A and B are shown apart, each in its own frame.
Chain A
Amino acid sequence: MTAVARPLRVSRWVGGPLLAALAVSLLLAAPIRLVGLPLPEPVTLMVPAFAWAMIRPAASPALALLLGGLVLDGLWGAPAGLWAISLLAAYLPLLALRNILAGQSPVVLWVWYGLACLMAQSVGWLITAWISGAPPSLAAAGLQWLATVLLFPVAALLIEHFRDADVRFR
């Protein structure tokens, strides 16, 4: 078997991006202000969540999103399960739509990525409103959505890198 025909390992296309996204979230949690402003807090796991749905359907991304979401909850002090549910709620429709999204231009994919982020934020907003009994600030949710949407180029790179990496799925 040549190197080209070697199947893509889960640790490469799922494990690596998962750890990278969590590492970035951990770094951004440092209490630092740059030019008087706090660091942004994007939902970095949305990047691999979108890319995994585009790369191929598999069971491992769902488990990775569950695990990563729980780690985010622990890191940010959110109720356990909040971000796992939000990410999976965005991932499931993407899985269903992946045949439509395949082959679209990056700009169109960016729009779809924004909609997926909106889905995750909406679910997080509803869960928080339900648990705390008061609606969270829409402005704060919007800022986090914007910071997450700006990360789409990383998702595009991941898709480009892994989409054709396994000859069995070309």
Chain B
Amino acid sequence: MSFRDNPFGEVRLPLLLGAAAAALVALVVAFALLMVDRRQTYQTGAYNALRKASDGVVAPVTGAVAAPVRWAGGVGEGIGGYFFAVSENRRLKAELAAAQAWREKAVALADENARYRALLGLAVDPPVPMVTGRAVSESRGPYANTRLVNVGSDRGVRVGHPVLSENGLVGRVVGVSPRVSRVLMLTDAASRTPVMIQRTRARAILTGDGGWAPELAYLRGQDAAREGDLVLTSGDGGVLPRGITVGRVVRGVDGGWRVRLASDAAPVDFVRVLLFEDFVKLEDLRVLNRPSPPPPPTPTPRAEPPAAATTPAGQPRGAVP
């Protein structure tokens, strides 16, 4: 009997059954892992050793793969910069002239703000320290939108820290290993971010769905949003600092309000991780009741000419209050 006579004809069914049984066992194991991982997702410090190890392997490999492309892009930009230097110079001069006017206005506003804060005794937010890293890997699929950045717990990064590009908010850290952190993007289906519309101060929850423009959920009020409105973080819940640029409101194809992310304006390459501490996670809540530091010193009033002497209330003489 030759092999062509199919001597294994009788064993075909058991083979198929064996394969199906193995697939079913694998399916059960995978489901059990999903249950365990899902339960851990919402626990602090649940970024298990396996994920840390895989992130540690993935980050250098993808970083090495991306390096030649970045290098080629840099060379291309250099060549373009050389040939378009004159027009670039002209454009930059125009921008600089426009910025000079804005600078003077900004200095005057900053001075005025400082005086108001001093008068009101307002406690201002302290500056938030930050570390800069580079995105070395990304997933762009419908079910997971994450990035690996090459700064980790050795640089002070912790779970929950917000991540920004030069254009706006990118996401927040959901996993940390010594040299690498995993960032959950605003577009991820698991991402929920408290935001507000700058024009109306209307609050909403930015809800990712794996698409390019996350949805503005729970937006309330009449005329709460319009096309092109600026969206900022609201700071509600203390998870993120208030006032970080998120994007602009756009109308989705489903008729709902969505946000075109500001961070999509350019490739997310270098990112800043704000080492922002969420007061919700404070272990010792008594620190919140400690006396606040003294207000900043009142700026010394400018010497005014005698003719323009002001009243004690700060009003120029003759002015209508």
Which residues in A have some Cβ–Cβ distance to B below 8 Å? 5, 26-27, 29-34, 38-39, 41, 56-63, 65-66, 69-71, 74-82, 84-85, 88-89, 91-92, 95-96, 98, 121, 124-125, 127-129, 131-132, 134-137, 139-141, 143-144, 167-170
Contact = CB atoms under 8 A, between A and B. Distances in A.
Nearest to B18: A59
Contacts of B66: 30-32
A95 B30 contact: no
Contacts of B4: 170
A141 B27 contact: no
Contact of A141 (B33, B36, B38, B142): B142
Given A61-B23, A75-B139, A129-B189, 15 more contacts: A29-B137, A30-B65, A74-B55, A76-B139, A78-B144, A79-B37, A85-B30, A95-B16, A96-B20, A128-B189, A131-B41, A139-B211, A140-B142, A140-B211, A167-B3
A26 B58 contact: yes
The 10 closest A-B pairs by CB, nearest first: A137-B211, A81-B34, A77-B146, A74-B54, A59-B22, A84-B30, A140-B142, A76-B139, A57-B19, A62-B23
A71 B139 CA distance: 13
Given A29-B58, A136-B142, A136-B143, A141 B210 contact: yes
B268 interface: yes
A134 B34 contact: no
A128 B143 CA distance: 6
A40 B182 CA distance: 20
B138 interface: yes
Given A78-B144, A136-B209, A170-B3, A29 B15 contact: no
Contacts of B136: 31
A169 B16 CA distance: 13
A56 B22 CA distance: 14
11 contacts: A26-B58, A30-B66, A31-B62, A33-B267, A76-B141, A81-B33, A124-B143, A132-B189, A137-B211, A140-B141, A170-B6
A77 B69 contact: no
Interface in B116-149: 135-144, 146-147
Given A136-B189, A137-B211, A168-B3, A29 B143 contact: no
Contacts of A78: 139, 141, 143-144
B271 to A, nearest CB: 11
B69 A88 contact: no
A44 B23 CA distance: 19
A95 to B, nearest CB: 6
Contacts of A69: 30
B93 interface: no
